[in-house]
Amino acid sequence: MRRGAVVEAAHVVHAVAVRDGETVATAGDAQLVTYLRSSAKPFQALPLAESYPDADPRELAIASASHLADAEQLAAVEMLLARADAGEDDLECGPEGEPPRKIKHNCSGKHAAMLAVCRARDWPREGYRLSSHPMQQTNSEHVAAAAGISERNVPTAVDGCGVVTFALTLERMASMFTRLESMPGGALVAAAMRRHPDLIRGGAAPDTVLMKTLPGSVAKGGAEGLLCGAFPDGTGFALKSADGAARPLGPALASLAARLGFDAGELAETPLVNSRGERVGAVSAA
């Protein structure tokens, strides 16, 4: 990060790309183990796509999203709650925003989707976020299958919104996204994300920008500086900022994309803006 001409801060980003089961590009440690966090959401949305093949693409997109609680995003969450025959109080995430509300939590789409799946499969609604519930067990099965490993080899913990999160190597995460569209319901989820990239996050978020500027790509960010997805040719990628910062991910992704022949130039530089709205520097790949 340069303020003016002086480097004021630096971030280390580990990255890996996988194509046809082979690692084709790396930076740093491809075997770094970290939590999948919200990058798991496209896979956690698979049961929704399987349970409701006629679901509106906006429902599948918001189920895969870490949204910013804008009007369009909240409307999509409401669609899922209606499908689940549930209300905001049934969401088991915590409140966010001003005033604080559960529906404003960035994971409310995923939680509403889980309620809808519970309705379709006649599972109890209460405790759907717990590891002992069939909802989380089904998500665990999907993640392990996509990663190509046994469930017992996937360490888990509690995510920020209360559901289960999964620890994998970056290489496994990249491999997962090469398989997303071949999994039951995966093609529907990926198509919905591409059709509605602004529901996935919005603004200048790298996952949203990549899907808008590189047609055929799919991407999903996660907490603590994680970004995963697949380029238009199906090459999967995973990037992890060592210090958990999100701001280097766009430039790092653009750098990785360029090595693989893709132009993600809109992400190559993140402007640094002061409180007056003046550009005073930028974040870029070294």
Q: Supply the DSSP string of 191-221, one letter for each residue.
A: HHHHH-HHHHS-TT-HHHHHHHHSTT-EEEE
3-state secondary structure of 92: coil
Q: What is the pLDDT of residue 13?
A: 98
Q: What is the pLDDT of residue 160?
A: 97
Task: Name residues whose C-beta falls within 8 Å of residue 51's C-beta, 6 or more positions apart in sequence.
Answer: 116, 117, 120, 121
Domains and CATH numbers, the chain: 2-284 (3.40.710)
Alpha-carbon distance of 49 to 183, in angstroms, equals 11
Q: What is the pLDDT of residue 8?
A: 97
Q: What is the pLDDT of residue 111?
A: 98
Q: What is the pLDDT of residue 81?
A: 98
Look up residue 27 and give its two tokens. Answer: 């930076």
Summarised one tens digit per residue, pLDDT across range 171-207 is 999 999 999 999 999 999 999 999 999 999 999 999 9
Contact present, 183 and 29 (Cβ < 8 Å)? no
Spell out, as residue ranges, where the chain has pLDDT lower than 50: none
Q: What is the pLDDT of residue 283?
A: 98
Look up residue 163 and give its two tokens. Answer: 């559901």
